[in-house]
Amino acid sequence: MTKVLITDPIDQKGIDILSQVAQVDQRIGISNSELASIINEYDALMIRSGTQVTEAVINSSKKLRIIGRAGVGVDNVDVKAATQKGVLVVNSPGGNTIAAAEHTIAMMLALSRHIPIANSSTFLGKWERKKFVGNELFKKKLGVVGLGKIGTHVAKVANALGMDVYGYDPFVSTERAQQIQVKLSELDLLFQESDYVTLHLPRTSETENLVDMKVLKSMKKSAKLINCARGGIIDEEALAEALNKSLIGGAAIDVFSEEPLCSNSPLLKVDKNLILTPHLGASTREAQENVAVDVAEQIRDVLLGLSARTAVNIPGLNPDIMDSLKPHLQLAETTGLIISQLSGGQIQKLEVKLQGEFVQHPSQPLIIASLKGLLSKALGDRINYVNASLEADSRGILVVESKDEARPEFASGSLQLTSYGDNGEHSVAGSIFADGELRIISIDQYPVNVSPSRYMLVTRHRDMPGIIGKLGSLLGSYNVNIASMQVGRKIVRGEAVMVLSIDDPIPNDLLESIIEVEGITSANPVTL
Nearest CA among 76, 148, 83, 228 for reference residue 388? 148
Pairing status of strand 44-47 against strand 23-26: unpaired
CA distances from 405 to 357, 399, 402 (A): 8, 20, 10
163, 109 Cβ separation under 8 angstroms:
no
Q: Are 419 and 339 spatial neighbours (Cβ–Cβ below 8 Å)?
A: yes
Find out whether 363 and 401 touch, Cβ atoms under 8 Å.
Answer: yes
* Contacts with 470 (C-beta within 8 Å, 6 or more apart), sequence order: 517
- Beta partners for residue 226, in sequence order: 198, 252
Let me know if 230 is a catalytic residue. yes
For residue 200, the 8-state DSSP code is -
Query: Measuring CA to CA, which residue among 44, 88, 16, 48 is closest to residue 386?
Result: 88
357 is catalytic: no
Candidates 31, 49, 22; CA nearest to 291 is 49
CB 92 within 8 A of CB 290: yes
Give yes or no for a contact between 333 and 369, defined as CB atoms under 8 angstroms apart: yes
Dihedral over alpha carbons 387, 209, 422, 383 (to 10 degrees)? -10
Instruction: Identify whether 461 is a catalytic site residue.
Output: no
Out of 114, 153, 176, 230, pick the active-site residue: 230
Return the biggest CA–CA distance within the chain: 84
Which residue is catalytic, options 279, 309, 361, 489? 279
Catalytic one of 55, 206, 259, 516: 259
DSSP track, 1-57: --EEEE-S---HHHHHHHHTTSEEEE-TT--HHHHHHHGGG-SEEEE-SS--B-HHH
Helices (H), 64-219: 79-85, 97-112, 115-123, 149-160, 174-179, 187-193, 213-218
Residues 427 and 421: their CA atoms lie apart, in Å, by 12
Catalytic residue positions, numbered: 230, 259, 279
